[in-house]
Structure 1
Amino acid sequence: MAHYPLNHHLRQPYRWLTAASGLYLTLYGVIGIVVTWGDPFFNRGSDWVLGLRTNPAAAWLSTVVGLIVLVAALLGGNVHHRVNLVMGWGILALAMVLMTMIQTDANVLNVSMVNIVVLTVLGLFILVGGLYGKVGTAEDSRREHEAALRRD
């Protein structure tokens, strides 16, 4: 079973990092919706937003994912921990799948390599925020610390 640190002293900065990542995804999505309004949903045009290529499908997906990450960061606690673990791994997996489809007709989200790099970095930020965001009671933290001392 994986070990996630409990009450890590840097969990607040990581939470802010995930909130900033969620805000970027949301802004990219909302601006992308405005810029691509009226285009076909899976358009392969040349629309760029915040340095990333987009179409309506990518814009809507980014808006939804960004809002989920942002709300989880605002709620904090173990909701933040669990949601960001799932979303971080999911964004990283999506980036790898999209990278295999860049030069094919399957590139329905109209991504470029710049999009892949940004998605990978944001996915890592969100995942790390989830890894170090677990919270518990003072008693749980004390027991975890004692168990770690016994292992060493």
Structure 2
Amino acid sequence: MAHIPVNHPARPVYRVLAGLIGLYIVVFGVFGIVETAGDDLFSRGSHWVLGLRTNLAFALASVVFGLVVLFGAAHRGNLGHLLNLTIGVVFLVVGIAMLTVLQTDANFLNFSMSTVIVSMLFGLVLLATGLYDKVGPPEGAEPEPEVRDNSGAHPGR
């Protein structure tokens, strides 16, 4: 069974990273809605916002996912841990899926290669945040095992 750290000391740093990602996604979505207002939902125009190509559907989805990421970063319980894990996987899967249809008519979210890269990076950071964001009672956190043997004797060598 995999070990997911409980009450990791770097937890606040990971929550700040997740919050910054969520804030970027919300700002990107709002600017994307403003930029693509009046276009079709799944248009394939060349609208660029904050370095990423977008359409109205992708901008709307970004606002929703950004708010969920912000909620997960602000939530101190295990719900934030589960949201970050889930959303991290969703970003990775969407990035891979959009990479496979990048130069086809199936690219309904109007992704570019830079959008795929950012989606993958955000997915990895959110996945790491979810892995280190688990909360438990202080007595439930297991101390890290001692790696070094201070006696100097190493059996089997």
Give the TM-score of the pair, scaled to structure 1. Answer: 0.92
Write the distance in 1 (CA, Å) between the matches of 2:101 and 2:63. Answer: 22
In the alignment, is residue 108 of structure 1 matched against residue 96 of structure 2?
Answer: no
1:40 counterpart = 2:40: yes
Question: How far off is 1:97 after superposition?
Answer: 0.4
Match of 2:143 in 1: 145
Quote the offset at 1:2 in angstroms.
Answer: 2.3
| Alignment of structure 1 residues 2-151 onto 2, 5 Å | 2-141=2-141, 144-145=142-143, 148=145
What's the CA shift string for 1:55-113, capped at 9, x where partnerless? 00110111111100001111122111110000001110110000001000000000100
Q: Which is greater in Rg?
A: 2
Structure 2 spans left out of the alignment, 5+ residues: 147-157
Percent same amino acid at aligned positions?
A: 49
For the 8 Å contact 1:15–1:76, the answer to whether it is kept is: no
SS of 2:143 mapped into structure 1 = helix
> Per the alignment, in what secondary structure is the counterpart of residue 111 of structure 2?
coil
Aligned to 1:53, the other structure's residue is in SS state strand
Which has a greater percent of helix? 1
Q: Unaligned regions of 5+ residues in structure 1, if any?
A: none
> How big is the alpha-carbon RMSD for the aligned residues of Structure 1 and Structure 2?
1.4
Partner of 1:145, secondary structure, is: coil
| Cα distance in 2, alignment partners of residues 65 and 138 from structure 1 | 31
CA distance in 2, matches of 1:43, 1:14: 35
CA distance in 1, matches of 2:104, 2:78: 40
Q: Runs of 4 or more off by more than 3 Å in structure 1?
A: none
